[in-house]
Amino acid sequence: MTSSNTTTSKKKIPTARELAMDILTKVDEKKAYSNILLNESLNKFKLERQEVALTTEIVYGTIQRMNTIDYFLNQFVTKKVKKLQPWVRNLLRLSFYQLYYLDRIPDHAVVNEAVNISKRKGHRGISGMVNAVLRNIIRKKEQLELPSTSNIVEHISLKHSHPEWMVKRWIDQFGEEITEQICEANNGTPHVSVRVNTLIKDRDSLIVDMRQNALQVSPSSISVDGIVVESGGNMAHSLWFKQGEISIQDESSMLVAAVVDPRLNETILDCCAAPGGKTTHMAEKMENTGVIWANDIHPHKEKLIDEQVQRLQLKNVKTSVQDAALLIQKFEKHSFDRILLDAPCSGLGVIRRKPDLKWLKSESDVQEIAQIQLDILSNIADLVKPGGILVYSTCTIESSENEQIVKAFLSQNPQFSIDPSIRKLLPQEVYQQIKLEEGMLQVLPNYFHSDGFFIARLHKNENV
């Protein structure tokens, strides 16, 4: 009985490629986020470590290279990729990804597995088509070519697999060379960085501790609180994390608290705080003095913030649930020394971590979110004390969500002005590279291999 049950149970566990195909098909049909589906699937099936790595590589790699893969596949599929059944389309996509982009997997292994999957899910005709298409790709893959540079938008779009509308907007903002560097960086593997909780330990001591435990780490070049972890496994499972000595946070995100520059015993508001990374960073800098209100619109995310606060042994954070645009109804005018608005945005600075964003977002999404950002910024302006600081940040590189919002806000709110003291809050070599205009910073993903981020620091006049 036991043996039979075990055998039955094993038959239900998918292979890495089968699981990857299911995830890609759900992402394709339901527009679901791949990272959430991947985590749920890996937790459900408990694959071996190598299978986990292969599934992850195939899912993210195939999504990253989606339109390039479809461009080439259409040269081999008579019916065209878009007209195939979703699972067949995604089986061919992930197989092409392995054949064209990965060196370590033998071609015959890719074909055999794809044919076996198509036999289990379809019929002989489909498996025959899959077999024929993949063998034809193997014969001709060295001859595959991208379009020439005569149409630079199409060329960059297919070379680095980004939507044409995105490439065109970035060329208009940054030029062709920088746009290509951004797109290339977006397809790289994001590195892991952690923030030291300086209330418990200093960065140098922690680096020594980590190296003694065989981790390859280096101090962040852009944040005095950051450590880049080049190898060391999942830091969320480490004792340093469990003991509250570190938080997992991208280096660009760490710059936000540095620009807010919170002081001891101040009263601060973080308008869109979940999951709490920037809030807790500011709370650490305030050395457990004063008060930080960590607000978020989603009630279920309040618990996430509380968990981080407890883990990091912080005592100066209070949580709040409210639409950021309505916070003026909750707090009195001139309540806060400093306010951080890390605004909802298109997220186009974090494509390396969330490659689905390339295909889920549209140009109209970028235009629609800009008005929401300006509305929130305008509505919280009265909450800043005279002489106080308002910091606006996003994790996007879109000018319509960044500097254009700040300029529109300043034109409507003359009691605020750009704060030039921002230059003193960051290392000068970093500041010079990421300075966009006076008082505004723009980190691009190709600068430090960190997330794309925008930060502006505004000062409220004393006499208002």
Tokens, residue 232: 């060391």
pLDDT at residue number 7 = 42
Report how far residue 62's alpha carbon sits from residue 97's, in angstroms, rounded to the nearest whole number: 6
| 384, β-bridge pairs | 336
**What pLDDT tens digit does each residue of the chain (464 aa) get?**
334 444 444 557 899 999 999 999 999 998 888 989 999 999 888 888 899 999 999 999 999 999 999 999 999 999 899 999 999 999 999 999 999 999 999 999 999 999 999 999 888 889 999 999 999 999 999 999 998 889 999 999 999 999 999 999 999 999 999 999 999 999 998 889 999 999 999 999 999 999 999 999 999 999 999 999 998 778 999 999 999 999 999 999 999 999 999 999 999 999 999 999 999 999 999 999 999 999 999 999 999 999 999 999 999 999 999 999 999 999 999 999 999 999 999 999 999 999 999 999 999 999 899 999 999 999 999 999 999 999 999 999 999 999 999 999 999 999 999 999 999 999 888 898 898 888 999 999 999 999 999 999 999 999 87
Report how far residue 130's alpha carbon sits from residue 128's, in angstroms, rounded to the nearest whole number: 5
Q: Residues near 353 by Cβ (< 8 Å), separated by ≥ 6?
A: 35, 190, 451
Report how far residue 74's alpha carbon sits from residue 64's, in angstroms, rounded to the nearest whole number: 18
Each residue's pLDDT tens digit, 54-86: 999 999 999 999 999 999 999 999 989 999 999
Report how far residue 335's alpha carbon sits from residue 337's, in angstroms, rounded to the nearest whole number: 7
Q: What is the DSSP string of 377-446?
A: HHHHGGGEEEEEEEEEEES---GGGTHHHHHHHHHH-TTEEE-GGGGGSS-HHHHHHHEEETTEEEE-HH
Torsion of CA 115, 117, 119, 120, to 10 degrees: 170
Q: Residues near 238 by Cβ (< 8 Å), separated by ≥ 6?
A: 232, 246
Give the gyration radius of the chain's Cα atoms: 25
Each residue's pLDDT tens digit, 136-161: 999 999 999 998 889 999 999 999 99
Q: Does the annotation count 183 as an active-site position?
A: no
Question: Considering 271, 272, 345, 395, which one is annotated as catalytic?
Answer: 395
